[in-house]
Amino acid sequence: MALHSLSGAMPMALRPISDTRVCIAAQSRFVWNPALRGRVSSQKSGLVVALWHRQGMWRNQLRSCQLQCATRKGKMIVRCHGGKVKFRLRLDHQVEFGEHHAVIGSADFMGSWKNHVSMTWTESGWVADIEASPGDRAEFKYVIVAGDGRLTWEEGPNRVLDVPSGGSEIVSQWENPDLVVTTNGAAAEAHVEAPVHEKKDKKEKAKETVTASSDGDMSFSQGWQGKNVAFMKANEHTSRQGGKWETAGLEGAALRIVEGDKKSGNWWRKLEVVRDLLTDDLGKADRLDALVYSSTYLKWISTGQIQCFEDGGHYRPNKHAEISRMIFRELESIYSDKTTTTTEERVVIRKIHPCLPSFKAEFTAAVPLTRIRDIAHRNDIPHDLKQEIKHTIQNKLHRNAGPEDLVATEALLARVTKTPGEYSAAFVEQLKIFHGELKDFFNASSLTERLDGLRPSLDEQQISVMDNFMEKKKKLDEVGDGGNSDMLVGAMHALTGLRAVLLKGLESGLRNDASDDAIAMRQKWRLSEIGLEDYFFVLLSRFLNAMDSSGGAKSLSEEIQSKSTSKWKQPLGGVVLGIRQLGLSGWQQAECLAIENELMTWEKDGICGKGSEEDIRMWGLRLKATLDRTHRMAETYSDLLLKLYPKRAQNLGNALGIPENSVRTYAEAEIRASVVFQLSKLCTLLLKAIRFVLHTEGWDVLMPGIACGKLFEVQKIVPGSLPSSAEGPVILLVKQADGDEEVRAAGPNVAGVILQQELPHLSHLGVRARQEKVVFVTCDDDDKIKEMRSLLGKSIKLESSSVGVRVSTQGAEQGASSTARETEKGAHDEASVSESKVVKSSSGVILDLKDADLATAGAKSSACGKLATLAELSAEEQNNGVSCKFLVPPGLVIPFGSMEGALESSGSMDTFHDLLEQTETAQVEEGELDGICNQLRELVSSQRLPKSAMSKIAEGFSSDARLIVRSSANVEDLAGMSGAGLYDSIPNVKLSEPENFCKAVAGVWASLYTRRAVLSRRVAKVPQKAASMAVLVQELLAPDLSFVLHTVDPIDRNAQIVQGELAAGLGETLASGTRGTPWRLSANKVDGSVKLVAFANFSEEFVAGRDGVADGKVSKRVVDYSTKKLSVDLEYSVTLGQRLAAIGTFLEKSFGCPQDIEGCAVGEEIYIVQARPQP
């Protein structure tokens, strides 16, 4: 084994590149063998290592430690000497959403082949920080850990590691066993001699690397994943031979692209495939589908994963330019349409633009890009080089141009500039100019070059805005990663202003009579603003690094203890600028504006009062709510890409033979390359600091207790989400909830739930968790989620209480599950449907609300009737000196028997009974039950109230009054069966539109037979024929706030505490699974004290307009909490909390047991619309 010292100065001939790299060069010269996928084979034993960082600036010096390189069995092993050290493993590989990487090896610090060491995702790849002793050696492999804990091992021999020096980083690629060390945290890439079995034909030509421009923009080759460049001295270009075009199972846009690609070998024909798809009827019929498939197809072409060939039909690059112009016009027409174009379509269109060539006048000329012809005929270069230029680039470019031509030109430029003075300066200068022209044609120019190209089209004020940004960018480029946070924030401000200017110019859309020059300039503007967005990603990443260097979350939290928020100004400003970038890209613009207003208000207000602990807590809770909202918006962007791309990328990739890993990770790569990714990281850092301030850990308890079981991750709580191997008690790590789930829908063996999103305590899902006594917690801390994912597939113990949450493996195998309320029994718990007799009224009967009782109208109507009576008494009652006054909206009841009367009148009763009987035995599997339920609902929904009933209802309401029709079944709102959220209530109908009103009533009847309602009654052992539905009709209110009260604390069962949750607008926000948190109040019945526990951050409120058609629908309106009284006036929150506590206490006494109460605030009045026994 030969050891060679790696030290010394950097050769000046080597240039920095924008990606993080290590260059290992022979002291004389080296051969770059493309067959070895970028490895270097040295012709001499002495090697020099040069390090540089992401923005292309050289490190000042190498670390003083000695690096040693040992060659064994064709591999490079890197070693550093010193004391006990820490080092980092970094893996450059992407996985699917929900998966993560880990490392497992022979040494104890790698799990001794028994336990894996989880890796953490960072901007530069998956990392694991390891501590070991120098001289330690380990064999190891990287693995992919799936959501259910299953491992996928990388192929190939074990990796061999000799522990390097402290602070080093070892960089690897998946299923590539080479290792490289870089010191002091600088990233590296290995280029070493491959094992013999990996060597290929020696005739394969050399591939050169090309550096990026000094402003940090990557060269085109950096993203190239196609074939290596082979320089040729004769025409050795070949037409396509073979390929994969599997069309089985494809349809629509995917089928069109695959069939088109089969016929289209070269680039311009492939561009035509996209043009034809986007402009014909197929593309317009499902435009989003066509756009997504087109963006994926063009991306794989531009990165070389779909190869372009010569296939006859020779055309100069002007052919490509003309096709590109037609595609661009179509895309701009769609993008500018504010009436029919969706946000999703705009997101995808932005990904297509960079994949199109330029169609400037010089590229649409009859003979474009002629400089290369002159270069190939120069007399100051060797004949062999002339032949290589002519046959590799010139002739190919002018017959069938493609992205591979730019790769070849970059490789040639790197070759001729590697050794200064080897070729004439005039030749090199001309080649550089041509390289710039070719980059311009392929729209691969740097951001600086693009912006400079806009100058002729800008006015004086626009040029001033651009120069301001360019000056700040230049200063940042000069200092590299050394830029401080002030410089970075200044550059982000300037960038955002410039991008807004460009988008303002693009706002008017593209005129049909626009000249070719105008369209070409518009493409420049569009690509420049997209490039600015991409560069913002870089700036925000560097800002995050600067934050980490200055102490990160801990430093921010420590400052709050000194009652100052000055350090928070810049990071909050960074979030605001990130939000503006998303808004400029057309993403949820109203939401972006609301979040921006909130953050600016909270930052301006700072810590209110005298800076007491309570003042700091209020500041932290308010800011946390808005940052959670921001983080949630970032997640919705990620969710959109995960919805749009994975399945389509799989369909297209499998059909065209794209490498499996590129297909699997396509969407994840798009997410991690977006501003949203960096914005999410910044929010995570700030939320971590706030948790330090609030002394919380990201947990929230909805149902306390102890649960033991094996941990599985699922997308939602739905049947079939658990693998068949999930036997025995399980605990679910749930990614998302929408509020319609049954807690044990995934299986009867669910002992606990950990939900990865916030959820109202008093939501329907929260209520069901307490009813079914399933331990239920939420967690919004990304680090803790990662920790729990490392436990997937293992038995864990979940302990939750009002004090906190603990997840452990200790005692999980022997532990028994229990909840804090398993032993609680009340007189109500034994109540059953069979005990409540149903009295069915004849057709046409309508009851006054005060006359409704349990037998004729169900518990909800009966309770509302009693509420109406109590409302008259409430004004005379007080609690702690606070009035208990409340109101009840006027109402009428369509009693039990009305639905059956309508079925009898229409002659549908026999069919109804037959279907109802089938629901008792229908199997859930294979959709049998779904089919029967659908038939039942369709039958019932078609029924209508008799005219006599409509006439009686008209006597109780004005014809133009907005009404809500509400379910009132005999199987809901009972002590033993609340049925929370099972049945429908339909708002916003009126009697002057009788058809819509009758449809709404029939819709409530039909909700008795949803799949979920039928299954819920099965679980409760309630016969389907025992279920009856009455309909409560009430005047629809227009509330400022809606609320849910529990008169006993639902977590620790403290009878002195009334807990309330409130949301802006109608109460549907609280009842459904809308993502977000409500205002949460905790009010003491005894001493009248009120504590605001959480601030609301729901993005939207539901409102029912007073104008327009009353069609049973409500609209949504984005909420800006900086304008909401409950968020900005803490005295109001105390006053409101005391009033709600007084009303809750009064109703609890009146009904004789703890109550689950729903109501709303309209101006100064409090309305109660429902009360039922609290679960």
CA distance 775 to 701: 9
| Confidence check: pLDDT of 77 > 60 | no
**Residue 818 confidence class, pLDDT cut points 50, 70, 90:** low
Q: How many residues does the chain have?
A: 1175
| Confidence check: pLDDT of 1072 > 90 | no
What sign results for the dihedral spanned by CA atoms 344, 347, 350, 351? negative
Q: Which DSSP string corresponds to 54-85?
A: TTS-B-SS--SSPEEEEEETTEEEEEE-SSSE
E strand intervals along 1040-1164: 1041-1046, 1057-1064, 1079-1084, 1090-1094, 1100-1103, 1115-1118, 1155-1162
Instruction: Spell out the alpha helix ranges (H) of 442-484.
Output: 447-452, 460-479
CA distance 249 to 246: 9
**Closest by Cα among 374, 574, 422 to 486:** 574
- Please count the CA atoms within 13 angstroms of the CA of 1174 that sit on its side-chain side: 27
Tokens matching residue 168: 């080093």
Read off the pLDDT of residues 513-542 as tens digits, 9 standing for 90 and up: 899 999 999 999 999 999 999 999 999 999
CA distance 547 to 1133: 35
Question: What is the SS3 string spanning 262-326?
Answer: HHCCCHHHHHHHHHHHHHCHHHHHCHHHHHHHHHHHHHHHHCCCCCCCCCCCCECHHHHHHHHHH
Cα 394 to chain centroid distance, Å, stands at: 45
CA distance 411 to 206: 9
Q: What is the pLDDT of residue 621?
A: 95
What sign results for the dihedral spanned by CA atoms 207, 212, 218, 220? negative
Cα–Cα distances (Å) from 1022 to 198, 835, 918, in that order, read: 68, 11, 15
| Confidence check: pLDDT of 39 > 50 | no
**Residue 107 confidence class, pLDDT cut points 50, 70, 90:** confident
What contacts 24+ positions apart, CB below 8 Å, involve 715-719?
716/741, 717/741, 717/742, 717/743, 717/745, 717/746, 717/750, 717/753, 718/745, 718/746, 719/745, 719/746, 719/747, 719/924
By three-state DSSP, how is residue 946 classified? coil
Of the listed ranges 148-157, 463-472, 565-574, 710-719, the one predicted with least confidence? 148-157
Tokens matching residue 1146: 């009064």
By three-state DSSP, how is residue 1154 classified? coil
CA distance 171 to 1019: 54
By three-state DSSP, how is residue 920 classified? coil
CA distance 281 to 279: 7
| Confidence check: pLDDT of 205 > 50 | no
> In sequence order, what are the beta bridge partners of 1035?
963
| Confidence check: pLDDT of 288 > 70 | yes
Tokens matching residue 304: 């070389």
Q: What is the pLDDT of residue 680?
A: 93
**Residue 869 confidence class, pLDDT cut points 50, 70, 90:** very high
Cβ burial, residue 785 (10 Å; 0-12/13-18/19+): middle
Q: Residue 464: phi, psi to the nearest 5?
A: -60, -45
Read off the pLDDT of residues 144-153 as tens digits, 9 standing for 90 and up: 988 767 788 8
Q: Active site includes 1046? A: no
Tokens matching residue 914: 């037959």
CA distance 187 to 181: 8
CA distance 772 to 977: 10
| Confidence check: pLDDT of 282 > 50 | yes
CA-CA-CA-CA torsion for 1060, 1066, 1072, 1073, nearest 10 degrees? -80
DSSP 8-class letter at 709: E
Tokens matching residue 747: 């299986």
> In sequence order, what are the beta bridge partners of 173?
92, 176
Question: pTM score, two decimals?
Answer: 0.79
Read off the pLDDT of residues 743-769 as tens digits, 9 standing for 90 and up: 777 778 899 999 998 888 777 778 778
Amino acid present at 123: E
**Residue 484 confidence class, pLDDT cut points 50, 70, 90:** confident
Comparison of pLDDT for 793 and 429, the residue scoring more: 429
What mean pLDDT comes out for the span 1011-1037?
A: 90
| Confidence check: pLDDT of 607 > 70 | yes
CA distance 432 to 429: 5
By three-state DSSP, how is residue 151 classified? strand
The one catalytic residue in 320, 391, 764, 1046 is 764
Q: What percent of the chain has pLDDT over 70?
A: 84
The answer to whether 1141 and 1083 are in contact (CB under 8 A) is yes
What sign results for the dihedral spanned by CA atoms 205, 403, 363, 410? negative
Cα–Cα distances (Å) from 9 to 6, 13, 464, 689, in that order, read: 10, 12, 42, 42
- The end-to-end CA distance of the chain, in Å, is 74
What mean pLDDT comes out for the span 668-696?
A: 92
Q: What is the pLDDT of residue 736?
A: 84
**Residue 432 confidence class, pLDDT cut points 50, 70, 90:** very high
Q: Are strands 1100-1103 and 100-105 parallel, antiparallel or unpaired?
A: unpaired
CA distance 1115 to 590: 15
Integer Rg of the chain from CA: 34
Cα–Cα distances (Å) from 1149 to 1081, 1152, 1173, in that order, read: 21, 5, 12
CA distance 24 to 42: 9
> In sequence order, what are the beta bridge partners of 818?
706
Tokens matching residue 165: 């020096």
The answer to whether 1112 and 1092 are in contact (CB under 8 A) is no
**Residue 836 confidence class, pLDDT cut points 50, 70, 90:** low
Q: List the Cα angle 1128/802/615 in 5-degree steps.
A: 25
Q: List the Cα angle 755/814/766 in 5-degree steps.
A: 25
CA distance 193 to 1090: 71
The answer to whether 87 and 172 are in contact (CB under 8 A) is no
Cβ burial, residue 853 (10 Å; 0-12/13-18/19+): middle
Read off the pLDDT of residues 901-956 as tens digits, 9 standing for 90 and up: 999 999 999 999 999 999 999 988 778 999 999 999 999 999 999 999 999 999 99
| Confidence check: pLDDT of 821 > 70 | no
CA distance 973 to 858: 8
Q: What is the pLDDT of residue 206?
A: 32
By three-state DSSP, how is residue 703 classified? strand
Q: Are strands 750-755 and 775-779 parallel, antiparallel or unpaired?
A: parallel
Cα–Cα distances (Å) from 1155 to 974, 1055, 1158, 1162, in that order, read: 11, 11, 10, 22
Cα–Cα distances (Å) from 402 to 112, 653, 1146, in that order, read: 50, 20, 78
Of the listed ranges 54-63, 344-353, 809-818, 893-902, the one predicted with least confidence? 54-63
